[in-house]
Chain A
Amino acid sequence: MNLISYLGYLVIRFIEHVGRLSILIGQLVLSLHLFPKNLRLISQQMLYMGVNSLPLVLFTSLFTGGVTAVQAAYQFRGIVPMTYLGGAVGKAVVIELGPVLTALVIAGRVGASIAAELGTMKVTEQIDALETMAIDPVRYLVMPRFISGIVMLPVLTVFSNFIAIVGGLAVSVWFLDLTTYSFLNSLKMFFELQDLFGGLLKSIAFGAIISIIGCYNGFATVGGAEGVGKSTTRAVVVSSILILLADYGIASLVFG
C-alpha cells in the first residue's frame, strides 16, 4: 500500500513538473518577439556560453577524435581496409560524437551555472524583485539564455567537429601509419551534407534543452544554499538524460 501511494506521488510530481515546464516554455515562446530589447543580455550570454566554453570543448573534442580513430582502427583490423578510417571517424564525429559530447560538456558547465545563478536569485528574492519592478523574469532571464543556447551550441559543435577530426587525423598519421592524404580522401569520399545538418539540428535541440532545463530548475529552487545545490545537480542530470533521448529521437527521424 505504501509503495503504491509512493508511486502515485511520483507520478503526480512528474505530471506537475511537465505542466510547469510547459508553462515556462509557453511564456518563453510568447516573449521571443521582444528579443531586440535583450540584445545586450543575449551577447553577454553568448560570450559566456560560447567563447568561454571553447577551451573545454576543444580539449574534449581533440581526445574524442583521437580515441575514435584508435577504436575504429581496432574494429577495422582484418575486416575493413584502413584507408576507410577517415570516413569512419568523420561520420562518427559529425553525426554523433561532436553534437552529443559538446552538449554533455556544456550541460555540465553552462546548464549547472544557469541553474545555480537563477536558483540563487530565486532564494535571495531577486526574482521577486524583478517581478515587482514589472520586469518579466522569463523575458529578462530565460529568453537570452535560450537564444544563446540554440545559437552557440551549433557553433561550438562545428568547432568540436573540426578539432575532433584533426585529433583523429593526428592519431592516424602518428600511430596508425596512415598518410594524411588517404585519411582526408576517405573523409571527403564519405562526407554527406545531410550528416552535418543532422548533427547541427541535434545541437540546436540540445541548446534548447540545456538552457530551458537550467532555467526551469533555477526558478523551481526553494530553501537556501542546499536548495541551490540540489537544483544544480538536477539540472545537469535531467538535461543529460533529455539530451540522450532527443539524440535518439532526432537520429531516428533524420537517419532512420
Chain B
Amino acid sequence: MIEIIDLHKKLSGQTVLKGIDLVINRGETLTIIGRSGEGKSVLLKHIIGLFRPDSGNIRVDGENITRHKTSDLYRLRRRFGVLFQGSALFDSLTVGENVGLALREHKTFPEYEIRRIVAEKLARVDLKGAENKKPAELSGGMKKRVGLARAIAMSPEYILYDEPTTGLDPITADSINDLIIQLKTDLNITSIAVTHDMASAYKISDRIAMLFDGRIIAIGTPEEIKNSDSEAVQQFVTGKAKGPITDF
C-alpha cells in the first residue's frame, strides 16, 4: 500500500503540487488523470524518490520514504518498476541488454538465468527474439513494450506507468492496455498509471483520481468518474475546450 499525505512541491518558483492526499491499495490499479503540465509525472517521481517533497509524506507499506538516505531509496526502488513517458530506453544498449541491465548490475542471477528471464519478459510483451535490436530501430509502440519488459524484469511489486499509451495508434494503445491488465492479474502487481487517454483510463483502472490545480479533486471507480457531478471532471473526461478547467 502506498499512502501519499499532504504532499507539496514547488519547482522553479511555481507550486506544482499543493497538498496531494492519495492512497493506493495493494493489488489495485489507480490511474491519475489530468491536463498536460498539471504535475502528474512529478507526482510519480516523488513516489520513487526522484523528487523530494517540500512538505508532506509518502509511505510505502508503512515505511516513510521522504527522508530516506540514497542507499535506502535504492533498496526500496528494487521493488518498483517504472515505465517512462518516453520509454527512456538506453540507446547504447540492445533491447536484451536494456531488459537485463538491472538483473546484471545487481547480480541477482547467473548469466544463463538472466538470459532466460530476459527472453521470458520479452515474450510477455510480444517481442520474442528481439534481444539484439537497438532501440533506434524500434517504433514507438515497440519501445513502450521494451520499456514495459524492462520495468517487470526484476519482478516488482509495484509498477508506475507514465502515459503508457500516449502517442500510439488506438490499436497498439489497446494492446498496451491489455498487457497492463494481464500483468495485474498474472502477477498481482499494484499499479499507478498516469494518463490523459480516457479510453485507457476506463479500461485499466480500478479507481481513477483526477489531478487539478495541484490537488486531487475527484477519486472513484471509472463508473463514478464518468458520472461525476464535478464540472471540472466532466470537462476533462468528455474533452471539452470550454469549462471550469480552462476558465480557471
Report which A residues bind B (CB closer than 8 A): 37, 117, 121, 124-126, 128-129, 131-136, 140
Which of B88, B89, B101, B106 touches A128 (beta carbons < 8 Å)? B88
A136 touching B74, Cβ below 8 Å? yes
- In whole angstroms, what is the CA distance A124 to B89 when docked? 9
Which one of B30-38, B79-87, B165-173, B228-236 is at the interface?
A: B79-87
A132 touching B77, Cβ below 8 Å? yes
A134 touching B88, Cβ below 8 Å? no
Which chain B residues border A133 with CB–CB below 8 Å?
A: 77, 101-102, 105, 154
B90 touching A134, Cβ below 8 Å? no
Which chain A residues border B50 with CB–CB below 8 Å?
A: 128, 131-132
CB distance from A35 to the nearest CB of B (A): 14
B48 part of interface (Cβ distance < 8 Å): yes
Number of A-B contacts (CB under 8 A): 46
With A126-B90, A128-B45, A128-B50 in contact, do A134 and B77 touch (Cβ < 8 Å)? yes
CB distance from A118 to the nearest CB of B (A): 11
Which chain B residues border A126 with CB–CB below 8 Å?
A: 88-91
DSSP majority for the B interface? loop
List, sorted by A's number, 18 A–B pairs whose CB atoms are closer than 8 Å.
A117-B92, A124-B86, A124-B88, A125-B84, A125-B85, A125-B86, A126-B90, A126-B91, A131-B48, A131-B77, A133-B77, A133-B105, A133-B154, A134-B77, A134-B106, A135-B102, A135-B105, A136-B70
Which chain B residues border A134 with CB–CB below 8 Å?
A: 74-75, 77-78, 102, 106
Which chain B residues border A117 with CB–CB below 8 Å?
A: 92
Which chain A residues border B82 with CB–CB below 8 Å?
A: 129, 132
- In whole angstroms, what is the CA distance A132 to B159 when docked? 11
- In whole angstroms, what is the CA distance A17 to B91 when docked? 28
| Leading 3 A-B pairs by shortest Cβ distance | A125-B88, A134-B74, A129-B88
- In whole angstroms, what is the CA distance A37 to B104 when docked? 10
Besides A37-B105, A135-B102, A135-B105, 15 more A-B contacts (Cβ < 8 Å) are A117-B92, A121-B90, A124-B88, A125-B85, A125-B88, A128-B84, A128-B88, A129-B82, A129-B90, A131-B48, A131-B50, A132-B50, A133-B154, A134-B78, A136-B74
